[in-house]
């Protein structure tokens, strides 16, 4: 087990570095003028910029130096906790991310809870009574939720809230310890939408995993021992199915992270998603770069945790060396 | 599909059939396709239904200029944000443009981008997968590592930074979405290639001196077609959602062209979004994704039932 | 069948189980009747697909639904008809009065539960033992089946054991609640030949010592010859011949049995004599021919065989055969027939 953990850890760190490299390179390979993309300067105005002005502008962007140096400056800062300054208002990027990140983190945790609490039982029940009305219902709902764009669902909720209840959620960033109720109101909408979408995914996977597991020989053995159906399901079938489900969680995570971004924007919640959107519109490329790094980092970390959980759940991995 | 493999075919050299023209190809295969379709409809009626819906949507998109009642991009400042009524069945948006027409035209963009990007992404991913699976060695090692790292960035984010760096526009979006399709496609086809590689069929072709390239093109690739089709249809839904998300974020095709994601993005900007501006584009996105997904499920069941848990 | 007075432990009467799919009915168990005495070892023999496993599953009502269904008959275990019991009733029988061992030791144990857990389960549920008592008993059981270092083995997981060891664990599980009957369905087929012998010896010895009845289901005549008291030969869902082991091996009186025996290498045959295989193939159970299902492959077939299916008729003391031509067969086999 230790070797398993160690291998995973050792791979994660360089992966993060390579990802940062890729992000860096992507943001610099521009089939156009950097001034156009990054400063949003109109094409016809580009001709009128003098060489000196150009140099000054590029220096401002920090882009006059060779790439290697730019990368080193950036990563050096990141490792020290300083991600540079936002083009928008010159605020420290790290500070912005920390503050808004809290809200997004809350949403994430809540969404995960909702997803598993709804998704797992739904999948299990559907598998246990295949082709029943319940199964058909779950299937339909699942398929439906997998097709709905999260941000559309979110918008519908916002519109419905306004039209039917005259309700609009608060939009200023307030940490939970200052005003838990307002904080909750902001967080619950996105968490629900993202959570339900993820629940659909989980239900589907759980159903097919349970289905497969229930065909296995050891389930027949369990029944031959005279165990009650519920015991067979819970103690024998489910743990095995769970292993399969956890394995696929990484995919779910990627899906959800992207979804969370647009959902936050739809709900007008001041989290990282909104920050990203504003940075995109304002062409604040340093912010985008850093945010992507943060997202990727979190993604790699959570995947690591998923791998470790998987290792823990499956005795075949837990108990080798 | 696997069943065809078990015989050792004598190598006669004319194993590469070249269609003299695409017309002949269609004509020759028409009966085959017709009966194949009928069989499919009988075995999987639900899925066939969704195929019909998909075709309907595609036709709608293609004939947009013919069926749209108004110009999709023409503003009408006298009629801003009007609710749906008899003459504007989907209402109008913040610039007074007819929402119904915009929605229909939006289908064009979304479907075009979806098909192109998925075709591009799965084609390249597929080639990478087959090459890696067949050749193994350093090439495989490097390409696999590269794709793994690519997967370390969540899909939408990757698309975002790609589009940002390439400048918003149709080709950027297409390339961005195509890139997000690379890892999955290549992984599945690589695994498939590796198991095909072990069959006797391949051995006999190689023993007669067929070059690796020939073996891959003529013998391996055709056997992966089933998986490929399954991945293709499964990816369409995701592509549409990604394109919509990009449009929503303002990274899609530039305005004033109507795209479903963009329309939702514009609707979201106002403090109190108007319900018709939110409802209709999203409805169409959902319908399209649903149609492709459910049709794809049925297709997968028929072509490659083993893949049920995989994709 | 005459049974010299003592009530049998298990009595199967007119059992019928079929599988349904694609508009066809496959009669896996077609009017099967037999009995088993306390402590007796019965061999249920036949090729794959003859219905022997389904018979065993039907006894415990483990036939996979909805494709399979027990259509009729009775299964009497010590005076109780298992087929008419409510769900809790049959669950109480499974694992405690009847223990079952399956063919695939590699996949018959749950990979995520420890060996100890899989043993103590039945003890806790059927015998109401406490965790502690159950653990002790589990260690005892592992010892009994020949697994050394029992107490620490309880914490192991199936993947840490070999195939033979896993099957021993299965035997321990089957024996755990001191059942009256153990059904071993091809229990050794998936094991190495040397291990097969060990496992069979173990099973035979334990059931002997404990007085447990044993039903060995197998296609391997050698196994049955060595360990069984009585033998039932099945073909295409029906029992074709039944008798004591001696009767079956010394004086087989059904063409199928003769065919089976002839296809097995035997030390008591002259050296250099050829093995005879049975011509033809196993019939499609969904489309059985009229009359005797064995007729297409039978060298003794006459016209009557195509018209009427022969019932089991007494051909010896405790010996019955379902064949119209058994006297002729017996004569040609060189047997002396005592009418």
The model's pLDDT over C189-248, given as tens digits with 9 standing for 90+, comes to 888 888 888 888 899 898 889 899 999 998 888 888 888 999 999 998 899 999 999 888
In the predicted structure, residue C80 carries a pLDDT above the cut 60? yes
Residue B161 touches chain A, beta carbons under 8 Å: yes
Note the pTM of the prediction, 2 decimals: 0.82
Residue B13 pLDDT level (bands cut at 50, 70, 90): very low
Q: How many CB atoms lie within 10 A of CB C279?
A: 10
Looking at residue C190, its pLDDT comes to 83
Closest in A31, A151, A285 to B248, CB measured? A151
For C63, which DSSP code? P
Sheet (strand C68-77) strand order: C24-36, C10-21, C68-77, C80-81
Looking at residue B5, its pLDDT comes to 41
The nearest CA of chain C is from the CA of A2 a distance in Å of 18
Q: With contacts defined as CB-CB under 8 Å, which chain B residues touch A285?
A: 164
Q: With contacts defined as CB-CB under 8 Å, which chain A residues touch B264?
A: 149, 151-152, 155
Looking at residue B306, its pLDDT comes to 61
Least confident of B281-285, C82-86, C329-333: C329-333
Concatenated DSSP letters of C202-268 = HHHHHHHHHT-EEEEEES-HHHHHHH-SEEEEEETTEEEEEEEHHHHHHS--SHHHHHHHHTS--TT
Give me the mean pLDDT over the C86-109 stretch.
Answer: 91
Give me the mean pLDDT over the C272-289 stretch.
Answer: 78
Looking at residue C75, its pLDDT comes to 93
Closest in B155, B290, B293 to A254, CB measured? B155
Residue B217 pLDDT level (bands cut at 50, 70, 90): confident
Q: With contacts defined as CB-CB under 8 Å, which chain C residues touch A221?
A: 102, 108-110, 170, 173
Q: Would the CB atoms of A217 and C108 count as touching at under 8 Å?
A: yes
Contacting chains of B (3 CB pairs or more, <8 Å) are A
Residue with tokens 């540079």: A84
The nearest CA of chain A is from the CA of B241 a distance in Å of 6
For chain C, give the percent of residues with pLDDT over 90: 41
Distance CA A25, CA A31 (A): 13
Phi first, then psi: what are they for C34, rounded to 5°?
-165, 170
Q: How many CB atoms lie within 10 A of CB C296?
A: 14
Mean of the per-residue pLDDT values of chain B: 79
Task: Tell which of A27, A123, A151 to mutate to test the B interface (max B CBs under 10 Å).
Answer: A151
Q: Among all residues of chain A, which has the CA nearest to that of C60? A: A224
Least confident of A167-171, C42-46, C64-68: A167-171
Looking at residue B4, its pLDDT comes to 42
Q: Which residues sit opposite C320 in a β-bridge?
A: C242, C314
Distance CA C70, CA C60 (A): 11
The nearest CA of chain A is from the CA of C93 a distance in Å of 7
Looking at residue C5, its pLDDT comes to 60
Is chain A touching chain C, with at least 3 CB–CB pairs below 8 Å? yes
Least confident of A105-114, B254-263, C251-260: B254-263
Least confident of B46-50, B51-55, C166-170, C307-311: B46-50
Least confident of B11-25, B294-308, C47-61, C177-191: B11-25
Q: Would the CB atoms of B164 and A285 count as touching at under 8 Å?
A: yes
Residue C93 pLDDT level (bands cut at 50, 70, 90): very high
Q: Which residues sit opposite A294 in a β-bridge?
A: none
Give me the mean pLDDT over the B81-109 stretch.
Answer: 80
The nearest CA of chain B is from the CA of A277 a distance in Å of 6
Residue C32: Cβ-neighbour burial (10 angstroms; 0-12, 13-18, 19+) = buried
Residues 6+ apart with CB under 8 A from B73: B97, B102, B256, B257, B258
Give me the mean pLDDT over the C75-91 stretch.
Answer: 91
Q: Are C236 and C64 in contact (CB under 8 A)?
A: no
The nearest CA of chain A is from the CA of B239 a distance in Å of 11
Q: Would the CB atoms of A258 and B245 count as touching at under 8 Å?
A: yes
- The residue among C43 and B4 whose pLDDT is bigger is C43
Q: Would the CB atoms of C160 and A319 count as touching at under 8 Å?
A: yes
Map residue A118 onto helix, strand or coil: helix
Give me the mean pLDDT over the C64-78 stretch.
Answer: 89
Residue C60 touches chain A, beta carbons under 8 Å: yes
Summarised one tens digit per residue, pLDDT across range A196-250 is 999 999 998 999 899 889 989 999 999 999 999 888 999 999 999 999 888 888 8
The nearest CA of chain B is from the CA of A267 a distance in Å of 9
Looking at residue C34, its pLDDT comes to 92
Closest in B153, B250, B309 to A208, CB measured? B309
For B309, which DSSP code? G
Looking at residue B2, its pLDDT comes to 38
Chain A window 176-235: which residues touch C at a Cβ cutoff of 8 Å? 216-218, 220-228, 235
Looking at residue B19, its pLDDT comes to 38
Closest in C62, C125, C126 to A220, CB measured? C62
Q: Would the CB atoms of C107 and A217 count as touching at under 8 Å?
A: yes
Q: Which residues sit opposite C232 in a β-bridge?
A: C44, C242
Phi first, then psi: what are they for C242, rounded to 5°?
-140, 145
Q: How many CB atoms lie within 10 A of CB B18?
A: 6
Q: Are B117 and B239 in contact (CB under 8 A)?
A: yes
Give the pair of three-digit tokens for residue A261: 């971004």
In the predicted structure, residue C8 carries a pLDDT above the cut 50? yes
Closest in A26, A162, A258 to B162, CB measured? A26
- The residue among B271 and C338 whose pLDDT is bigger is B271
Looking at residue C214, its pLDDT comes to 93
Q: Which residues sit opposite C214 in a β-bridge?
A: C41, C182
Q: Would the CB atoms of B167 and A36 count as touching at under 8 Å?
A: yes
Q: With contacts defined as CB-CB under 8 Å, which chain C residues touch A226?
A: 90-96, 122, 125-126
Buried b (16+ CB within 10 A) or exposed e, B115-148: bbbbbbbbebbbebbbbbbbeeeeebeebbebbe
Looking at residue A46, its pLDDT comes to 60
Concatenated DSSP letters of B250-290 = T-SSPTTS--HHHHHHHHHHSSS--HHHHHHHHHHHHHHHH
Number of H helices, E strands in chain B: 12, 0
Residue C205 touches chain A, beta carbons under 8 Å: no
Summarised one tens digit per residue, pLDDT across range B179-195 is 999 998 998 888 888 88
Least confident of A91-105, B88-102, C17-31: B88-102
Residue C240 touches chain A, beta carbons under 8 Å: no
Q: Residues of chain A whose pLDDT is less than 50?
A: none
Q: Among all residues of chain A, which has the CA nearest to that of C126? A: A226
Residue C120 touches chain A, beta carbons under 8 Å: no
Distance CA A72, CA A61 (A): 15
Residue A155 touches chain B, beta carbons under 8 Å: yes
Give me the mean pLDDT over the C281-300 stretch.
Answer: 83
Residue C28: Cβ-neighbour burial (10 angstroms; 0-12, 13-18, 19+) = buried
Q: Would the CB atoms of A220 and C108 count as touching at under 8 Å?
A: yes
Please compute, for residue C123, the number of CA atoms within 13 A of its CA located in the half-sphere on the CB side: 22
- The residue among C100 and C295 whose pLDDT is bigger is C100
Distance CA B118, CA B113 (A): 8
Least confident of B111-120, B205-214, C15-24: B205-214
Cα-based distances in Å from C37 to A2, B7, B204, C146, C232: 55, 54, 60, 27, 14
Closest in A26, A155, A205 to B278, CB measured? A155
Q: Are C33 and C15 in contact (CB under 8 A)?
A: yes
* Cis check: omega of the bond before C162, within 30 degrees of 0: no
In the predicted structure, residue C267 carries a pLDDT above the cut 80? no
Residue C110 touches chain A, beta carbons under 8 Å: yes
In the predicted structure, residue B85 carries a pLDDT above the cut 60? yes
For C148, which DSSP code? S
Looking at residue B17, its pLDDT comes to 44
Residue C102 touches chain A, beta carbons under 8 Å: yes
Is chain C touching chain B, with at least 3 CB–CB pairs below 8 Å? no
Residue C299 touches chain A, beta carbons under 8 Å: no
Residue A266 touches chain B, beta carbons under 8 Å: yes
Task: Tell which of B241, B250, B266 to mutate to test the A interface (max A CBs under 10 Å).
Answer: B241
Looking at residue C158, its pLDDT comes to 92
Looking at residue B114, its pLDDT comes to 92
Residue B15 pLDDT level (bands cut at 50, 70, 90): very low
For A234, which DSSP code? I
Q: Are B270 and B30 in contact (CB under 8 A)?
A: no
Q: Would the CB atoms of B286 and A144 count as touching at under 8 Å?
A: yes
Q: Which residues sit opposite C15 in a β-bridge?
A: C32
């Amino acid at each position: 087990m230790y070797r398993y953990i160690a291998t995973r850890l050792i791979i994660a760190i360089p992966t993060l570095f390579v990802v940062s490299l890729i992000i860096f390179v992507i943001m610099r390979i521009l089939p156009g003028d950097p001034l156009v993309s990054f400063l949003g300067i109109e094409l016809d105005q580009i001709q009128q910029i003098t060489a000196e002005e150009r140099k000054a502008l590029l220096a401002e962007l920090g882009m006059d130096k060779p790439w290697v140096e730019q990368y080193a400056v950036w990563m050096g800062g990141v490792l020290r906790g300083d991600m540079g300054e936002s083009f928008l208002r010159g605020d420290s990027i790290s500070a912005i991310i920390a503050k808004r990140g809290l809200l997004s983190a809350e949403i994430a945790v809540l969404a995960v809870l909702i997803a598993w609490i709804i998704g797992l039982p739904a999948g299990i029940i559907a598998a246990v009574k295949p082709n029943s009305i319940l199964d058909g219902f779950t299937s339909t709902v699942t398929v439906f939720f997998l097709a709905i764009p999260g941000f559309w669902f979110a918008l519908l909720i916002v519109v419905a809230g306004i039209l039917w209840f005259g309700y609009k959620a608060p939009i200023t960033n307030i940490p939970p310890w200052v005003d838990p109720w307002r904080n909750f109101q902001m967080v619950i909408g996105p968490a629900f939408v993202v959570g339900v979408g993820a629940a659909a995914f989980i239900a589907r996977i759980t159903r097919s995993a349970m289905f497969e597991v229930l065909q296995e020989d050891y389930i027949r053995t369990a029944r031959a021992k005279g165990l009650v159906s519920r015991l067979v399901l819970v103690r024998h079938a489910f743990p095995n199915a769970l292993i399969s489900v956890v394995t696929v969680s990484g995919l779910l995570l990627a899906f959800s992270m992207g979804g969370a971004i647009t959902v936050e924007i739809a709900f007008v919640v001041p989290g990282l998603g909104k920050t990203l959107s504003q940075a995109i519109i304002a062409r604040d490329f340093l912010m985008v770069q850093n945010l992507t790094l943060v997202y990727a980092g979190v993604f790699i970390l959570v995947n690591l945790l998923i791998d470790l959980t998987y290792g823990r759940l499956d005795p075949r991995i837990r108990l080798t060396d | 599909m696997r069943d065809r493999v078990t015989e050792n075919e004598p190598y006669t050299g004319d194993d590469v059939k070249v269609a003299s023209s695409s017309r002949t190809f269609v004509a020759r295969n028409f009966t085959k396709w017709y009966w194949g379709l009928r069989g499919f409809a009988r075995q999987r009626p639900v899925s066939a239904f969704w195929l019909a819906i998909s075709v309907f949507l595609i036709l709608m998109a293609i004939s947009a200029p013919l069926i749209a009642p108004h110009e999709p991009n023409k503003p009408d400042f006298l009629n801003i944000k009007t609710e749906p009524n008899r003459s504007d069945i989907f209402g109008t948006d913040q610039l007074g443009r007819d929402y119904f027409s915009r929605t229909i035209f939006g289908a064009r963009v979304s479907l075009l981008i979806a098909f192109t990007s998925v075709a591009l992404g799965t084609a390249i991913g597929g080639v990478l997968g087959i090459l890696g699976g067949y050749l193994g060695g350093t090439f495989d090692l490097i390409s696999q590592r590269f794709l793994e790292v690519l997967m370390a960035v969540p899909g939408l984010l990757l698309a975002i930074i790609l589009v940002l760096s390439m400048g918003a526009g149709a080709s950027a979006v297409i390339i961005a979405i195509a890139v997000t399709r690379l890892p999955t496609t290549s992984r599945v086809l690589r695994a498939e290639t590796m198991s095909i590689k072990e069959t006797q069929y391949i051995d006999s072709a190689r023993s007669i001196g067929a070059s690796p390239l020939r073996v891959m093109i003529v013998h391996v690739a055709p056997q992966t077609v089933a998986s490929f089709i399954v991945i293709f249809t499964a990816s369409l839904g995701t592509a549409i959602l990604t394109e919509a998300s990009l449009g929503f974020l303002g990274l899609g095709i530039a305005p004033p062209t109507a795209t479903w994601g963009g329309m939702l993005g514009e609707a979201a900007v106002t403090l109190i979004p108007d319900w018709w501006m939110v409802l209709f584009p999203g409805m169409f996105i959902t319908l399209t994704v649903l149609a492709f997904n459910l049709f794809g499920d049925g297709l997968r069941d028929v072509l490659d039932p083993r893949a049920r848990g995989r994709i | 069948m005459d049974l010299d007075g003592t009530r049998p432990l298990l009595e199967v009467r007119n059992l019928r189980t079929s599988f349904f799919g694609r508009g066809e009915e496959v009669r896996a168990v077609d009017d099967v009747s037999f009995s088993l005495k306390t402590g007796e070892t019965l061999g249920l023999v036949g090729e794959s697909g003859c219905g022997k496993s389904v018979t065993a599953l039907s006894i415990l009502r483990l036939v996979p639904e909805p494709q399979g269904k027990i259509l009729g008959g009775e299964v009497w275990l010590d005076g109780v008809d298992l087929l008419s019991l409510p769900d809790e009733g049959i669950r109480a029988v499974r694992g405690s009065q009847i223990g079952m061992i399956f063919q695939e030791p590699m996949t018959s144990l749950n990979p995520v539960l420890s060996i100890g857990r899989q043993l103590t389960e039945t003890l806790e549920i059927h015998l109401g033992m406490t965790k502690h008592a159950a653990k002790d008993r589990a260690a005892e059981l592992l010892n009994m089946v020949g697994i050394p270092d029992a107490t620490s083995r309880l914490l192991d997981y199936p993947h840490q054991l070999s195939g033979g060891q896993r099957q021993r664990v299965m035997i321990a599980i089957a024996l755990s609640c001191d059942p009256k009957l153990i059904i071993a369905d091809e229990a050794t087929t998936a094991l190495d030949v040397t291990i097969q012998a060990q496992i069979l010896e173990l099973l035979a010895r334990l059931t002997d010592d404990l007085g447990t009845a044993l039903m060995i289901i197998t296609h391997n005549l050698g196994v049955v010859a060595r360990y069984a008291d009585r033998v039932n030969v099945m073909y295409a869902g029906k029992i074709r011949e039944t008798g004591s082991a001696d009767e079956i091996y010394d004086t087989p009186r059904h063409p199928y049995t003769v065919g089976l025996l002839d296809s097995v290498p035997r030390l008591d045959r002259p050296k250099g004599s050829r093995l005879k295989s049975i011509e033809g193939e196993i019939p499609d159970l969904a489309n059985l021919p009229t009359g005797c299902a064995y007729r297409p492959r039978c060298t003794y077939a006459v016209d009557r065989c195509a018209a009427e299916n022969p019932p089991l008729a007494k051909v010896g003391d405790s010996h019955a055969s379902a064949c119209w031509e058994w006297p002729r067969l017996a004569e040609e086999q060189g047997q002396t027939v005592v009418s």
